[in-house]
């Protein structure tokens, strides 16, 4: 599989979608869907035929040889999982915004596909400079998605999103360049190649500061407390497809950065920073959960719950053992599905009721039982019911972290109670209770929404009951990851 062609296909698809609007207003969404289906099938075919889960695909081209920069794209099991999640949720995003977007449809699909292309690039780039390029590629179209098609406070939210991520991006760029320079200073060879830099010894305390630069950049994206405050605004204001991509995929790039770069590039510094990082993770779990409960806006509640769930990932990565890291990877995937679905439900509610405020909902089950049952499923997934993917992730993270630091795990464990409180309160305030005025006529999910929801439910059940293929795919990476640790 040629990864460059794969990414270019997504980019080209975006361009075609933008132009196609001129022919027919609705052509863009079909182009988008088509491109995503083709790439998904391509990925599936590759995954089926691969025997080596360490190097599923590899594409390498010279780019700026003078500075040791090349187009180096690689896909191992971990990347494969995340790219698959990306494409799947891309399809979800297109389908969920099928009727929501009525203005500048072509440009919308363009931004969607370019964001996805950027994300796929982030998950496969093994040249740090190229990684940074993709990091920025996914940011700008996302900004437009929020700023153009967002809700009432979109300008503020988009600006906040952009500034936070851009500050992270700046730190990232500085750290990358400094790392390459440090390597050059010690070895005389300039390179941005991941495999070269992974084995490059960097002296303390420089290594610590570089690690911190990477760490902050990725924790902003994750997001972890205290760098999380862009997320509730961005999520709440973004159109449904934007929220789906933001929560389902973009947050995972932060987690991916931690797991792929921060720890393997700077093992010693990361070990030094292990406890504070785990502390941030545990705090994020509880703080995010508590603030989720305090929200009255459906989308804001789900946004804060994301912070809580991604806290588990941070905790798991820095717990740094087989069990916890596998749990973190599982949590990334499961959270992608469960949160994307909840955002899609939020979008569907907003489209039908023209509000996200839960005080104006209530008793929706009577009008839309199918929607209620589906919401219940994802709410329950979100609170970590065994049998669904989120449980496997959270359980393994906590189990692994417990071997490292009991008290931080106890703090994060409070998140389990917190999750029950906010998740069930979401269910209560929106779908149960006395029907609010004017909700009786709300239409239920139709076939389009039902089928996409069913896919996500199958995915979560699959991850919950037969999680082993995921662990097998990630095994080569995880073994190396843990092998370089304590």
Partner 1 sequence: MSAPLQLLAWVPALPLIGFLILVVTEGRLGKLPVALVGVGSVGGAALLALLVSLRFVQSEQDVYVQTLWQWLAVDGFGPTIRLYFDGLAMVMVGVITGVGFLIHLYATGYMAEEEGYSRFFAYMNLFVFAMLMLVLGDNLLVLYLGWEGVGLCSYLLIGFFHTDPANGYAARKAFVVTRIGDTAMIFGLFLLVRELGSLDIQTVLHSAHASWPEGSSINTLIALLLLGGAVGKSAQLPLQTWLPDAMAGPTPVSALIHAATMVTAGVYLIARLNDIFLLSPAAHLVVACVGLATLLIAAFSALAQTDLKRILAYSTISQIGYMFFALGVGAWSAAIFHLLTHAFFKALLFLCAGSVILALHHEQNVLRMGGLWRKLPIPFFCMLVGAAALAALPLTSGYYSKHAILLTSFDAESIGPWFWGVASVAAFITGLYSTRMIFLVFFGTQKTEPHDRSGWNMTLPLLVLAVLALGGGWFGLNAVAGVLPDGGVKHGEHAAWLAWATTLIPIAGVLLGCVLYGYRKTESATDAAPQPLRGESIAGFLRGGWGFDSLYDALLVKPFVALARLMKGDPVDSVFVATAAVARLLHKITATTQSGQLRWYAASMGIGLAVALLLAVLV
Residue 467 lies near partner 1 (rule: CB under 8 A): yes
393: contact with partner 1 by CB under 8 A: no
CA–CA separation, 413 and 407 (whole Å): 9
Between 272 and 432, CB nearer to partner 1:
432
Which residues, at least 6 apart from 477, have a Cβ–Cβ distance to it below 8 Å? 54, 76, 77, 78
Integer Cα distance of 286 and 301 in angstroms: 14
Copy the structure tokens of residue 234.
Answer: 């961005």
Question: Which string of DSSP letters, residue by residue, matches 292-360?
Answer: HHH--BHHHHHHHHHHHHHHHHHHHHHH-SHHHHHHHHHHHHHHHHHHHHHHHHHHHHHHHHS--BGGG
Closest listed residue to residue 54, CA positions, set 484, 472, 483: 472
Is 387 one of the binding residues for partner 1 (CB under 8 A)? yes
Residue 224 to residue 245: CA distance in whole angstroms: 18
- Output 353 or 380, the one with its CB closest to partner 1: 380
Interatomic CA distance for residues 478 and 187, integer angstroms: 28
Cβ contacts of 168 within 8 Å, gap of 6 or more: 216, 217, 218, 220, 221, 227
Stretch that binds partner 1, among 23-31, 50-58, 145-153, 390-398 (CB under 8 A): 390-398
The least CB distance from residue 444 to partner 1, in Å, is 10
The answer to whether 57 and 456 are in contact (CB under 8 A) is: no
Residue whose pair of structure tokens reads 């990565």 in the numeric block: 317
Each residue 423-462 as x (binds partner 1 by CB under 8 A) or -, in order, gives -xx--x--xxxxx---------------------------
Cβ(237)–Cβ(288) under 8 Å?
Answer: no
CB nearer to partner 1: pick between 212 and 414: 414
411 binds partner 1 (CB under 8 A): no
* Stretch of 68-76, 127-135, 176-184, 369-377 lying at the interface with partner 1 (CB under 8 A): 369-377
Among 121, 224, 232, 264, binds partner 1 (CB under 8 A): 232
Nearer to partner 1, 128 or 231 (CB): 231
Question: Does the protein bind partner 1 through residue 402 (CB under 8 A)?
Answer: yes
What would the two tokens of residue 109 be?
């699909």
CB of 181 to partner 1, least distance (A): 30
Answer whether 202's CB lies under 8 Å from 266's CB.
yes
Give the residue with the Cβ less far from partner 1, 214 or 391.
391
Is 465 an interacting residue with respect to partner 1 (CB under 8 A)?
yes
Q: Is 408 in the site for partner 1 (CB under 8 A)?
A: no
Compute the half-sphere exposure of residue 84: CA atoms within 13 Å on the CB side of its CA: 21
C-alpha to C-alpha distance for 45 and 409, rounded to whole angstroms: 40
Among 392, 397, 452, 459, binds partner 1 (CB under 8 A): 392
| Residue from 276, 272, 244, 277 nearest 258 by CA | 277
Stretch that binds partner 1, among 2-10, 213-221, 286-294, 312-320 (CB under 8 A): 286-294
Q: Is 225 in the site for partner 1 (CB under 8 A)?
A: yes
CB of 163 vs partner 1, minimal distance in Å? 9
What phi, psi does 344 have (nearest 5°)?
-65, -40
Query: How far from the centroid of its chain's Cα atoms is residue 34's Cα?
Result: 23
Closest distance of CB 469 from partner 1, Å:
10
Alpha carbon distance 398, 395 (integer Å): 5
Beta carbons within 10 angstroms of residue 483's beta carbon: 8
Interface pick for partner 1 out of 403, 438, 440, 443 (rule CB under 8 A): 403
- Which residue from 40, 133, 212, 413 is in contact with partner 1, where contact means CB under 8 A? 413
322 near partner 1, rule: CB under 8 A: yes
Can you tell me which of 471, 477, 481, 485 binds partner 1, judged by CB under 8 A? 471
245 binds partner 1 (CB under 8 A): no
Say whether residue 290 binds partner 1 (CB under 8 A). Answer: yes
Residue 313 Cβ, how far from partner 1 at the closest point, in Å?
16
Q: How near is the Cβ of 55 to partner 1 at its closest, in Å?
A: 22
By beta-carbon proximity to partner 1, the closer residue of 93 and 323 is 323
Virtual CA dihedral for 223, 226, 228, 230, nearest 10 degrees? -140
Residues that bind partner 1 (CB under 8 A): 225-226, 228-229, 232, 287, 290-291, 293-296, 321-323, 326, 363, 365-366, 369-370, 373, 376, 380, 385-387, 391-392, 395-396, 398-399, 402-403, 409-410, 413-414, 416-417, 420-421, 424-425, 428, 431-435, 465-468, 471
């Amino acid at each position: 599989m040629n990864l460059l062609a794969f990414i270019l296909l997504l980019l080209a698809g975006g361009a075609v979608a933008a132009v196609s609007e001129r022919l027919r207003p609705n052509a863009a969404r079909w182009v988008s869907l088509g491109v995503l289906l083709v790439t998904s099938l391509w990925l599936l075919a590759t995954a089926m035929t691969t025997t080596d889960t360490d190097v599923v695909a590899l594409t390498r081209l010279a780019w700026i040889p003078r500075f040791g920069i090349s187009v180096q794209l690689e896909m191992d099991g971990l990347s494969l999982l995340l790219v698959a999640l990306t494409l799947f949720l891309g399809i979800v995003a297109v389908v969920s915004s099928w009727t929501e977007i009525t203005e500048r449809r072509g440009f919308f699909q363009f931004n969607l596909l370019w964001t996805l292309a950027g994300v796929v690039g982030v998950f496969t780039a093994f040249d740090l400079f190229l990684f940074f390029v993709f990091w920025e590629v996914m940011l700008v179209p996302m900004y437009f998605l929020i700023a153009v098609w967002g809700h009432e406070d979109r300008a503020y939210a988009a600006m906040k999103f952009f500034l936070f991520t851009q500050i992270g991006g700046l730190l990232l760029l500085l750290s990358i360049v400094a790392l390459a320079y440090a390597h050059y200073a010690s070895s005389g060879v300039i390179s941005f190649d991941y495999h070269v830099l992974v084995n490059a010894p960097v002296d303390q305390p420089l290594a610590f500061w570089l690690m911190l630069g990477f760490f902050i950049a990725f924790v902003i994206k994750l997001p972890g407390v205290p760098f999380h405050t862009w997320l509730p605004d961005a999520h709440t204001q973004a159109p449904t497809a934007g929220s789906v991509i933001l929560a389902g995929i973009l947050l995972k790039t932060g987690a991916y950065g931690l797991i792929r770069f921060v720890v393997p590039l700077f093992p010693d510094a990361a070990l030094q920073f292990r406890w504070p990082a785990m502390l941030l993770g545990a705090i994020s779990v509880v703080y995010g959960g508590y603030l989720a409960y305090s929200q009255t806006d459906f989308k804001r509640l789900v946004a804060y719950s994301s912070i809580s769930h991604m806290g588990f990932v941070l905790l798991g990565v820095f717990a740094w053992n087989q069990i916890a890291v596998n749990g973190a990877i599982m949590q990334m995937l499961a959270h992608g599905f469960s949160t994307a679905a909840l955002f899609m439900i939020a979008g569907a509610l907003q489209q039908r009721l023209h509000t996200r405020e839960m005080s104006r909902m209530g008793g929706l089950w009577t009008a839309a039982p199918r929607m209620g049952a589906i919401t219940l499923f994802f709410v329950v997934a979100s609170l970590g019911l065994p049998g669904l993917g989120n449980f496997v992730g959270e359980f393994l993270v906590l189990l692994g972290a417990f071997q490292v630091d009991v008290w931080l795990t106890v703090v994060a464990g409070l998140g389990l109670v917190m999750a029950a409180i906010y998740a069930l309160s979401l269910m209560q305030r929106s779908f149960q209770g006395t029907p609010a005025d004017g909700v009786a006529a709300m239409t239920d999910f139709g076939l389009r929404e039902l089928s996409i929801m069913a896919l996500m439910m199958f995915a979560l059940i699959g991850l919950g009951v037969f999680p082993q293929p995921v662990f097998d795919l990630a095994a080569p990476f995880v073994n190396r990851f843990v092998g370089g640790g304590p």
